[in-house]
Amino acid sequence: MEITPQVITTAASLYELLDLLGEQTDPNNPVAWDTETTSLTPRDADLVGIGCCWGAGLTELAYIPLGHKSGTQLDVATVLEALRPILEGAEFPKVLQNAKYDRLVLRSQGINLAGVVLDTMLASYVLNPDTNHNLSDLSLRYLNVSAQSYKDLVPKGKTIADLDIAAVAEYCGADVHTTYRLTPLLKAELAEYPDLEQLFTTVELPLEPVLAEMEYQGVRIDTDYLGNFSQQLETDLAKIEAKAYELAGETFNLGSPKQLSTLLFEKLGLDKRKSRKNKSGGYSTDASTLEKLQGDHPVVDLIVENRTLSKLKSTYVDALPELVRLDTHRVHTDFNQAVTATGRLSSSNPNLQNIPIRTAFSRQIRAAFIPESGWKLVAADYSQIELRILAHLSEEPVLVQAYNNREDVHALTARLLFEKDDISTEERRLGKIINFGVIYGMGAARFAREANVDRTEAKSFIDRYYERYPAVFEYLQQMQREAIAQGYVQTLMGRRRYFNFTTTKLRDLLGSDPNQIDLDSLKRMSGYDAASLRAAANAPIQGSSADIIKVAMIRLHEVLKGYQTRLLLQVHDELVFEVPPDEWTELEPKITEVMESAVALKVPLVVDASSGPNWMEAK
């Protein structure tokens, strides 16, 4: 379909457009909007043009060129002021593909986007989390139309601003038209699934501006501190490298798994049975292998140390300062709301959800995350949220009661497993490993390795766990049966994760009564997809946790409106804020309360919050 937008280049046509848009107030027929810019990074993005699509019977399209390098255009400031009441007016319903991006672009221009009633990307994500949700995929899937690709439109080294107004008008017109046409289809599909519609309307859609705000704020980084850290690591790595060459009797690339494999298992003749074959035929040199090889040759320790330090240096110490913006002195991550299969967020460029914490040394990276001068950084995290959710969903009486009595559940598990009242720290540690392990469907082999016990002991531990917590066992099995019989499982808020079993026998069970499925007999058949079934048992737990923290973030965003305090980061069960000194005393109980009461479960949710001069010390 070829539809060419009207290109707005005169004041008269702009005011005509405003009149038409002023009439578009039907929330069931929102106007589709899209911005064309020069960069995927909103803060670097110059506005090149704005497109919109609306209509009652006839579909109408407009493109307003603003930043093309050539051609007649209206003044940006004039156009934005004219559009402001529409763009900022909640009474003018809008639909966008990935509204967070356009919101950030417009925000840089001083416009606060309001009235977004649908985001096609988020609607698609809620309906079908395990697919892609970019506009061209949606276009193909829902409309059977293949979209013109950005790459084909914009030559290498150029931006959209270099192109003719007519070409961009065509491209932008197609995008807003696609967005507009997707709207009724996605709305209708959501209407078929009331739980998903509710999830979309009350969680995903309102979360989007919260994430936009977090990204806009960014987090301050102490680049001097990282610079010193980098130099220190550089010195240490050079020494390690020299020593490793000396011990190996030759030089080699410490960063090459292939060369390491050859060195360890061929040249030095170390025990191949302590490793595993990898896909490319070599032997794995991963951390667990190296651990087993420790003591067999002195070079092993140096390889381990090199791995740790070079990972730290390249991924964090050197990478983070590169991403600090010169204008804000902060890093602005991208929170992706539509990538994970379970409903979690993800973070990229940089990923601020995997900043080291597990060892005292690597944790030092967190000291580089600092608040505005004179402020505090605050971390508030949910205590054992997934285990609490498991207790709630399984209704396991022993666990539910324990949490309600504010007991130490890892210690309780240890007492039940060891069948005694006084347990050691080591025994509690095993209780903790197994409590977390069941959430993922851990087997005896893994538990044996983690807990440092033998296989048979591990097996009997796991068996006893399920004897002590029979409802947990029942629940996890029930989720697997539902995945097979329904083809999906659900979270607390109705979020779905779908499963497609390829084995005929499993597929034949789709549509059957989950309670009639005998998992034990299925286990013995070939093609039994154990990994998918573990994912099915895990998804409601991981996904419900995501539901809960998303609700908390939305409510907190409202609460914080009267304060200077800002929400900066989300790390799955933790929120990080920066807080001016005079606000923390008042806000601490408020923040904790909002997080703890995000949903009411059969067990209490508990939040631990603390503040410090940086992220390392806010713990």
- Specify the stretch interacting with DNA by CB under 7 A; choose among 46-54, 137-145, 153-161, 345-353: 345-353
State in angstroms the smallest separation of the CB of 206 from DNA: 22
Among 299, 393, 399, 535, contact with DNA (rule: CB under 7 A): 535
Q: What would the two tokens of residue 532 be?
A: 């998918």
Please work out the total of residues on this chain that contact DNA, with binding judged by CB under 7 A: 67
| Binding of residue 349 to DNA (CB under 7 A) | yes
Shortest Å distance, C-beta 500 to DNA: 13
Q: Is residue 348 close enough to count as binding DNA by CB under 7 A?
A: yes
Contact 73, 54 (CB under 8 A): no
Beta strand 94-96 with 116-119 is: parallel
Stretch that binds DNA, among 85-93, 153-161, 334-342, 453-461 (CB under 7 A): 334-342
340 - beta bridge partners?
A: none
- Residue (3 or 525) nearer to DNA, CB: 525
Segment 237-266, which members bind DNA (CB under 7 A)?
A: 253, 255-259, 261
Measured from the CB of residue 103, what is the shortest distance to DNA in angstroms? Answer: 20
Amino acid at 618: A
Closer by beta carbon to DNA, 199 or else 476: 476
Part of the chain binding DNA (CB under 7 A), chosen from 230-238, 404-412, 537-545, 597-605: 537-545
Angstrom distances, CA of residue 130 to CA of 342, 494, 497, 499, 528? 9, 16, 8, 9, 21
**Backbone dihedral angles phi then psi of residue 377, each to the nearest 5 degrees:** -100, 135
Residues 569-588, interacting with DNA (CB under 7 A): 571-574
Whole-number Å distance between alpha carbons of 599 and 596: 8
Q: Can you read off the two tokens belonging to residue 505?
A: 């026998």
Task: Tell me which of 156, 358, 406, 561 binds DNA, using CB under 7 A.
Answer: 358
Three-state DSSP class for 49? strand
| The amino acid at 9 | T
Opening angle at CA 543, ends 316 and 515, nearest 5: 145
Q: Are 208 and 557 in contact (CB under 8 A)?
A: no
Residue 68 or 468 having the CB closest to DNA: 468
Binding to DNA by CB under 7 A, coded x per residue (else -) over 399-438, reads ----------------------------------x--xx-
Q: Does 354 engage in binding with DNA (CB under 7 A)?
A: yes
Can residue 233 be called a binding residue for DNA (CB under 7 A)?
Answer: no
d(CA 256, CA 277): 16
Instruction: Answer yes or no: are the C-beta atoms of 18 and 38 closer than 8 Å.
Output: no
459 lines the binding site for DNA (CB under 7 A): no
> CA nearest 200: which of 137, 120, 138, 104?
120
Q: Which of 156, 279, 406, 561 binds DNA (CB under 7 A)?
A: 279
- The neighbour count for residue 101, using CB atoms within 10 Å, is 21
By the rule CB under 7 A, 231 interacts with DNA: no
**Residue of 131, 159, 353, 592 interacting with DNA (CB under 7 A):** 353
Is 337 a residue that touches DNA (CB under 7 A)? no
Return all residues near 46 (Cβ < 8 A) that are at least 6 apart.
37, 38, 39, 67, 161
- CB within 8 Å of 104: residues ≥ 6 apart: 42, 43, 212, 215, 216
Q: Is 156 in the site for DNA (CB under 7 A)?
A: no
CA angle 353, 355, 361 (to 5 degrees): 160
Residue among 109, 136, 351, 597 that touches DNA (CB under 7 A)? 351
Residues in region 287-316 near DNA by CB under 7 A: 287, 290, 307-308, 310-312, 314-315
Of 7, 179, 203, the residue nearest 102 (C-alpha): 179
CB half-sphere exposure, 203, CA atoms < 13 A: 29
Two tokens, residue 262: 């050859």
Minimum Å gap between C-beta 258 and DNA is 4
51 touches DNA (CB under 7 A) = no
If the CB atoms of residues 13 and 336 are measured against DNA, the closer one turns out to be: 336
Binding residues among 473-532 for DNA as defined by CB under 7 A: 530-531
Angle formed by the axes of helices 455-468 and 444-451, nearest 10°? 110
Q: Residue 178, Cβ neighbours under 10 Å: how many?
A: 24
Verify binding: residue 149, DNA, rule CB under 7 A.
no
Each residue 86-115 as x (binds DNA by CB under 7 A) or -, in order, gives ------------------------------
Q: Which residues sit at the interface with DNA, rule CB under 7 A? A: 253, 255-259, 261, 276, 278-280, 282, 284-287, 290, 307-308, 310-312, 314-315, 319, 336, 339-342, 344, 346-351, 353-359, 362, 433, 436-437, 439-443, 445-446, 450, 530-531, 534-535, 538-539, 542, 571-574
